[in-house]
Structure 1
């Protein structure tokens, strides 16, 4: 396999070089997943931390597989023999260009979305009201085992007294029916590349989704960086939500107050800054993958 435009020349790693990298990955994954797996064994649910394993489809055992990324050949890595997305030939494993070509349309769409989002001015004025709109005048509440901090009527008043400006389709689609007309935007899947922006918590959380959708092509270090970002954003998202999770140790961010709004926007900017380089890395990965030729 020869180098393709946009990619550096393939680099071959011997077992003494790649095995420590794989071991470090296992150690990092095990530390990140320990709490979730322990709760799962106890059949104990967690409304904040389970989100990354219930909303996103990637399972813990999939995260534990180490992927070195494009341009890397692993001598003696027989565990990749027959694994989808890899070729094992001449005693070494590497990504399969044929699999990249098969998924080219999906890779191109993902890259376009990431690039469009990166090029758009971030917005920081939504104040997390998407979560409030998901329970507004609703008969069913997603986290019904946990109380609403202001009660149902107080929650409805917050929604009605604020401008709702959610740009993220996968958040908007969970709005209650009465809340949907209150949103100044009406996001659709087709319009996603035109609306997503880098200040949105959910757009930044979704970097984990795109990183995993691009597996096994995404280097595992990048996948886990996106996982950690999504985990931390989820915590902010729920602290600013209408639910009261103080019993779990989460201090509420009272976005109905001026101080709460300022705190939320500041945290939102911090996450936008963390997300920016990850988004660029994923977009560049898409570009490099599409430049890969089948030789």
Structure 2
């Protein structure tokens, strides 16, 4: 176990908190003013982590923090009193904090195993690049005016034009958490039938929303996952969400977002090019996240219990079902 002195880890924690504060500043200002933002709000509403939670810095497995006695009340941390030893038998100064990996495995084992299985399965498949972001169009297909998801923003082609785009394309959405928001009229048009239970069997790396969900898996497995990795996953999700909404049927030029006109050959090519680039980025993060999870398992005691408790079962449910809006 590597012990970081305060002179090393506290500046890292401060830099992380400052980065989160900058990323969340516009969101907090909009809340005070009562304004909505269809791109940025998604990161704070669909994904449930609050800025204050994201700003907490965690070093990840195999690291101990000298002079971090305040973490004695943080979940899954242990703080030495100067007489006990670390998980590897090494002596640690009093007030040193480190992750209790056995407790984490005991409480989060089900979520940990699910995420490892999902990431491994996703990495084993080639990306699919023929959806063209039509899931957002299917969410407003033949919808009444009051059912349009982002009612404050006009449909770029109007309702009839939007419906015509859906009707002239084949929809192939593989992500259940997008598909479940399709209008009843659009759902039968999807060539796939993704389900919650079949997520491991159908997730593929070309899906933009699978890429955004890497942020969710990082924070659901905090504090095991280093905060720098979680923050990079947040930035990836933010970048993907921008493409997602630029390719959506809404006109967001007032916010500075030029549309990706996926109803045209040029727009389709632009979308696929960006989608392929995001697949490369998301797969790199998947591999890095898998390495962290595997390290955490390797460092935990071999006889650490795997049976999930009620809290872990709730976390697994929240990880998949907790989101209420797209």
What is the TM-score of this pair, normalised by structure 1?
A: 0.94
2:274 corresponds to: 267
Work out the CA distance in 2 between the residues paired with 1:88 and 1:269.
44
1:82-161 correspondence to structure 2 within 5 Å: 82-90=73-81, 91-97=95-101, 98-139=103-144, 140-161=147-168
Instruction: Find out whether 1:198 has 2:205 as its counterpart.
Output: yes
Mind listing any 5+ residue stretches in structure 2 that lack a counterpart?
82-94, 305-326
2:31 to 15, 40, 46: 40
Work out the CA distance in 2 between the residues paired with 1:174 and 1:19.
43
Work out the CA distance in 2 between the residues paired with 1:188 and 1:287.
27
Contact 1:82 1:88 in 2 (8 A): no
2:19 corresponds to: 28
SS at match of 1:94: strand
SS at match of 1:244: coil
Work out the CA distance in 2 between the residues paired with 1:117 and 1:73.
32
Contact 1:208 1:230 in 2 (8 A): yes
1:6 corresponds to: none
Instruction: Find out whether 1:218 has 2:222 as its counterpart.
Output: no
Work out the CA distance in 1 between the residues paired with 2:247 and 2:22.
26
Work out the CA distance in 1 between the residues paired with 2:298 and 2:174.
31
Instruction: Find out whether 1:51 has 2:58 as its counterpart.
Output: no
1:288 corresponds to: 295
Deviation at 1:84, TM superposition (A): 0.8
Deviation at 1:105, TM superposition (A): 1.4
Deviation at 1:101, TM superposition (A): 2.3
What is the TM-score of this pair, normalised by structure 2?
A: 0.86
Deviation at 1:42, TM superposition (A): 1.9
Work out the CA distance in 2 between the residues paired with 1:45 and 1:100.
39
Contact 1:204 1:230 in 2 (8 A): yes
The alignment yields a C-alpha RMSD, in angstroms, of: 1.1
Work out the CA distance in 1 between the residues paired with 2:186 and 2:298.
44
SS at match of 1:81: helix
Q: Deviation string for 1:63-84 (max 9, x for gaps)?
A: 0101111111001112211211
1:80 corresponds to: 71
2:180 to 164, 173, 191: 173
Work out the CA distance in 2 between the residues paired with 1:118 and 1:79.
39
Work out the CA distance in 1 between the residues paired with 2:290 and 2:124.
11
* Worse overlay, 98-107 or 48-57: 98-107
Contact 2:153 2:251 in 1 (8 A): yes
Work out the CA distance in 2 between the residues paired with 1:235 and 1:247.
14
Deviation at 1:234, TM superposition (A): 0.4
1:185 corresponds to: 192
Deviation at 1:291, TM superposition (A): 2.8
Deviation at 1:280, TM superposition (A): 0.8
Deviation at 1:16, TM superposition (A): 1.1
Work out the CA distance in 2 between the residues paired with 1:236 and 1:88.
44
1:19 corresponds to: 10
